[in-house]
Structure 1
Amino acid sequence: MNNTALLIIDVQQGMFVEDNPVFNGEQLLANIGQLSDYARSHEIPIFYIQHTEPAGRELEKGSPAWLIHPHITPTASDIVIEKTTPDSFHQTELHQELQKRNIEHLLLTGIQSDVCVDTTCRRAFSLGYKSTLLTDAHSTWGSSELTAQQIIDHHNQVLRWFAITKETKDAIYKEK
């Protein structure tokens, strides 16, 4: 397990606004919380990826929406990486920080299934990481064409080419 890290992508307060919350947000937070507890008890490093937008935008650095959701607040030992694009690796220190810790396997969670989670999963594959996408620990919003659940299901299917797919319970209790 010492070569594994948990990535929590863009689980920020702005994703849970009352008038347009991320799909199934309470369950998402519960699953990520379970994964975080598991990671901490198994000394798996946790990386929080935090999306930052330019001044005047919703996820402007320091704004309430930009803050990591309080139900999964990082501890002093966790690593927070800021990004400005959907790719958690692009122009960030993520790859270098993972390499410093000899991380080879990533547990992927977060928001948005069809943007940042998808892009980060594919990029991790291209960089040679083995990844596990937690199928019930990422989420998004519906569109005029597809429901959020359809988008999540589609990405769980497509990203199987780039990652192992597992539910949270199967990742946590695999040793028992």
Structure 2
Amino acid sequence: MSPVLLLIDVQHNMLRPPEPVPAAEPVSAAIAAVLARARDAGAQVVHIRNNGSADDPDAPGSPGWALIHEVRPGEHVVDKTTPDSFAGTPLATVLPAGAPLVVAGLQSDFCVRETTLAALKRGHPVTVVSDAHATYDGEVPAAEGSARVSAELAEAGASLVSSEVVSFA
């Protein structure tokens, strides 16, 4: 079974001004490369979109809510309101049972983490693209926070690969 690409919250509010994540440029490039590779391989692509509250920068209909990448025919968009992309959404019905997943997106320490852990619990093998997820500076610098999440997800059973070698075969 071919892997399914989950692009989590690849939206304007986190990758474009006025407040992009610190690694917006390299992460955007890595995500674009992964998406191109998935499309070239004919892999299923699922765009996960966060629906923020009315006063959030990703409130539905706001400029920040828009997805960065155009959704092509046959690709799915799943809207969510929590960090776990499975919670209260049709994501589980969109994915083939047990399908391997490739995960990229934002934010490492929230939606990427929670969705990956939920997918592993549901029996999906998960590959996290290590250079295609990011977060904001917080208690630790953003790059360190993302690296910690990668390590945690690897310990939980996810595979880690770079955007240069991720495969959809």
TM-score per shorter chain, which class?
over 0.9
Give a deviation string over 1:10-57, Cα, whole Å, max 9, x none.
011111343431121111111111111111111101100000023333
Cα distance in 2 between the residues matched to 1:12 and 1:56? 16
Give CA deviations for 1:137-170 in whole Å, capped at 9, x if unaligned: 0000011x31001101111111102300111112
- Say if 1:4 and 1:103, in contact at 8 Å, map to a contact too: no
Which amino acid is 1:149 matched to? A
Partner of 2:71: 74
Instruction: Quote the residue 1:140 is aligned against.
Output: 135
Task: Find out whether 1:94 has 2:94 as its counterpart.
Answer: no
SS of residue matched to 2:104: strand
Residue type of the partner of 2:43?
A: I
SS in 2 for 1:133: strand
The structure 2 residue matched to 1:158, chosen from 138, 152, 157, is 152
Unmatched segments (≥5 aa) in structure 1: none
Mapped to 1, the partners of 2:146 and 2:61 lie a distance apart of: 29
Structure 1 segment 1-176 matched on structure 2, within 5 A: 2-69=1-68, 72-99=69-96, 102=97, 104-143=99-138, 145-160=139-154, 161-172=156-167
| Whole-angstrom CA distance in 2 between matches of 1:16 and 1:169 | 21
Deviations 1:87-126 (Å, cap 9, x if unpaired)?
Answer: 0000100011103xx5610000000000000000100000
Equivalent pairs counted in the alignment come to 168
Secondary structure in 2 aligned to 1:114? helix
5+ residue gaps in structure 2? none
Change (3 A) 1:50 1:68: same
Report the secondary structure of 1:136's partner residue: strand
Q: Name the CA distance, whole Å, in 2 between partners of 1:116 and 1:96.
A: 19
Conserved? CA contact 2:98–2:125, under 8 Å: no
- Contact 1:3 / 1:103 at 8 angstroms: preserved in 2? no
Q: Cα RMSD over matched residues? A: 1.6
Percent pairwise identity: 30
